[in-house]
């Protein structure tokens, strides 16, 4: 039987099969490995003393399975031509908005007084946060639209009418261009605030703002928009007893050290007791039912207690190297869509790390945000690794340096 003639690969297909960026991949895998080890150490006592959990290995077993699945997802995503994400951006954004709307219906799942989750099977099964999908959906949509910013024709308004002259002025100063992006951020952020999910709102705004900034939007709009967002959040916090309580606890967690301030106080004790070199891996005392949920948002204090100031700095250094490498890849991306996408994803990671470390050290109010690659949460971990896969996919198409 004669073989079919082999089809020649297109330029795009050849580029999509290029080598991935090994430094970025190694940093991701290293952080994932360290995160699994520390999550295992932090969660062992919690699982051991929990009567609803059958084994002390409950958390690490689930997390390791999701990590393995996430690495496979990262690999397959890295093999996909990232240009195909352009047409996925709109469906993902619409789908994420629908899911966020479902969260505030009776279908939403409430955990720790926050309604942020949905069941995988609508009414049953594991839970996930639609906000995780919304973050990457906003970034992909913004990157897709803004990558065409310089080639789109500007609208021309009728100068003979007052409304036309006003619209032309607003268009000249760049206001009209920002209206659709501002509307999307307001809609997605508003749905998250209703959960309430302040940290998720901040992350969506940060990711979207990073893409807008990298696309060349003038700085004045960031000052105006940042001021408006600050005033809006201040108003929400002031008139929401739940958030006002958190602000008061942030200012003085010791005032209610046995109540709502207990977690923050024990977190600071864990960090302080770690010293320079720590107590040793697995030797934390605060994880024995002192720090609530040490396997989740407050895993970093256990890292500091066991590995000390030096170990904590090394973990943060790994995050810093990953973030810097990501921005380097953005600078060398093949096209603007790839560059903007990486900027959004890496900024999302950077802000999330900053917020988590800021919360556990009481630098900022408790916002209920996890530490990437370290905190327990299977679906969140898989989405994070899928985002890293997108970055690796873009790295495949970075043009090779020319030899002189």
Dump strand ranges (E) for 120-196.
127-128
Q: What is the per-residue pLDDT across 139-173, written as a single tens digit (0 to 9) for each?
A: 999 999 999 877 766 666 667 677 777 777 777 76
Question: For the chain, what are the domain ranges?
Answer: 15-147+162-396
Q: Residue 386: helix, strand or coil by DSSP?
A: helix
Q: Which pLDDT does position 259 carry in this prediction?
A: 79
Q: Which pLDDT does position 14 carry in this prediction?
A: 54
Question: Token pair 């739940």 is at which residue?
Answer: 242
- Mean pLDDT throughout 203-232? 89
Q: What is the per-residue pLDDT across 230-284, written as a single tens digit (0 to 9) for each?
A: 887 777 777 777 677 778 778 888 887 887 888 899 999 999 999 999 999 999 9
- Mean pLDDT throughout 372-381? 92
Contact 204, 213 (CB under 8 A): no
Please state, in angstroms and as integers, the Cα–Cα distance from residue 60 to each residue in 53, 237, 311, 394, following that order.
12, 36, 21, 31
Q: Which pLDDT does position 1 carry in this prediction?
A: 46
Question: 157-161, 189-193, 217-221, 229-233: which has the minimum mean pLDDT?
Answer: 157-161
- Mean pLDDT throughout 99-127? 81
Q: Which pLDDT does position 328 carry in this prediction?
A: 97
Q: 111 has which bridge partners?
A: 114
Q: Which pLDDT does position 198 carry in this prediction?
A: 80
Exposure on the CB side of residue 131, measured as CA atoms within 13 A: 30
Q: What are phi and psi of 109, to 5 degrees?
A: -105, 130
Question: 114-118, 128-132, 268-272: which has the minimum mean pLDDT?
Answer: 114-118
Contact 20, 396 (CB under 8 A): yes
Q: Which pLDDT does position 360 carry in this prediction?
A: 93
Distance CA 302, CA 304 (A): 5
- Mean pLDDT throughout 289-318? 94
Q: Model pTM?
A: 0.90
Q: By percentage, how much of the chain surpasses pLDDT 70?
A: 89
Contact 304, 274 (CB under 8 A): yes
Distance CA 296, CA 46 (A): 11
Distance CA 274, CA 287 (A): 13
Question: 212-221, 237-246, 387-396: which has the minimum mean pLDDT?
Answer: 237-246
Instruction: Convert 262-292 to b/e letters by CB count within 10 Å (16 or more is b).
Output: bbbbbbbbbbebbeeebbeeeebebbeebbe
Nearest-Å Rg of the Cα atoms of the chain is: 23
Distance CA 165, CA 169 (A): 6
Is residue 302 pLDDT above 70, yes or no? yes
More confident position, 260 or 315: 315
**What is the DSSP annotation of 227-262?**
HHHHHHHHHHHHT-HHHHHHHHHHH-GGGGTTTTTH
Is residue 66 pLDDT above 80, yes or no? yes
Is residue 123 pLDDT above 70, yes or no? no
- Mean pLDDT throughout 196-209? 89
Which band of pLDDT confidence, cut at 50, 70 and 90, is reported for residue 195? confident
- Mean pLDDT throughout 20-46? 96
Distance CA 353, CA 123 (A): 32
Is residue 351 pLDDT above 90, yes or no? yes
Q: Which pLDDT does position 361 carry in this prediction?
A: 93
Distance CA 227, CA 50 (A): 45
Q: Which pLDDT does position 9 carry in this prediction?
A: 47
Q: What is the mean pLDDT of the chain?
A: 87
Distance CA 198, CA 378 (A): 21
């Amino acid at each position: 039987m004669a073989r079919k003639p082999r089809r020649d690969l297109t330029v795009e297909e050849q580029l999509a099969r290029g080598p991935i960026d090994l430094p970025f991949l190694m940093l991701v895998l290293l952080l994932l490995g360290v995160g699994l080890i520390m999550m295992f150490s932090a969660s062992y006592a919690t699982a051991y003393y929990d009567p609803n959990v059958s084994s002390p290995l409950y958390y690490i077993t689930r997390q390791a399975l999701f990590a393995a699945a996430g690495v496979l997802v990262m690999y397959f995503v890295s093999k996909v031509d990232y240009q195909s994400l352009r047409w996925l951006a709109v469906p993902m954004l619409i789908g994420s908005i629908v899911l966020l709307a479902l969260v505030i219906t009776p279908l939403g799942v409430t955990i720790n007084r926050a309604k942020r989750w949905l069941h995988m099977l609508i009414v049953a099964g594991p839970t996930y946060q639609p906000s995780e999908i919304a973050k990457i959906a906003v970034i992909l949509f913004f990157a897709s639209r803004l990558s065409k910013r310089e080639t789109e024709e500007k609208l021309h308004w009728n100068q003979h009418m007052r409304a036309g002259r006003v619209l032309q002025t607003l268009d000249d100063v760049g206001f009209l261009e920002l209206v659709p992006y501002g509307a999307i951020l307001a809609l997605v952020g508003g749905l998250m605030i209703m959960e309430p999910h302040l940290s998720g709102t901040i992350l969506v705004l940060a990711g979207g703002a990073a893409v807008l900034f990298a696309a060349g939007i003038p700085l004045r709009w960031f000052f105006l928009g940042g001021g408006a967002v600050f005033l809006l959040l201040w108003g929400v916090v002031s008139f929401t007893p739940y958030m006002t309580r958190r602000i008061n606890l942030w200012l003085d967690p010791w005032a209610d050290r046995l109540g709502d301030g207990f977690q923050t106080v024990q977190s600071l004790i864990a960090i302080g007791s770690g010293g320079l070199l720590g107590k040793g891996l697995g030797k934390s005392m605060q994880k024995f039912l002192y720090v609530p949920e040490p396997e989740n948002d407050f895993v970093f204090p256990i890292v500091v207690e066991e590995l000390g100031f030096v170990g904590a700095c090394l973990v943060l250094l790994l995050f810093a190297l990953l973030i810097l490498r990501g921005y380097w890849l953005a600078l060398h991306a093949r096209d603007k869509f790839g560059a903007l996408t990486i900027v959004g994803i890496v900024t999302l990671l950077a802000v999330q790390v900053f917020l988590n470390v800021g919360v556990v050290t009481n630098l900022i109010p408790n916002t209920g945000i996890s530490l990437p690659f370290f905190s327990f949460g299977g679906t969140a971990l898989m989405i994070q690794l899928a985002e890293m896969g997108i970055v690796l996919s873009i790295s495949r198409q970075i043009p090779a340096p020319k030899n002189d």
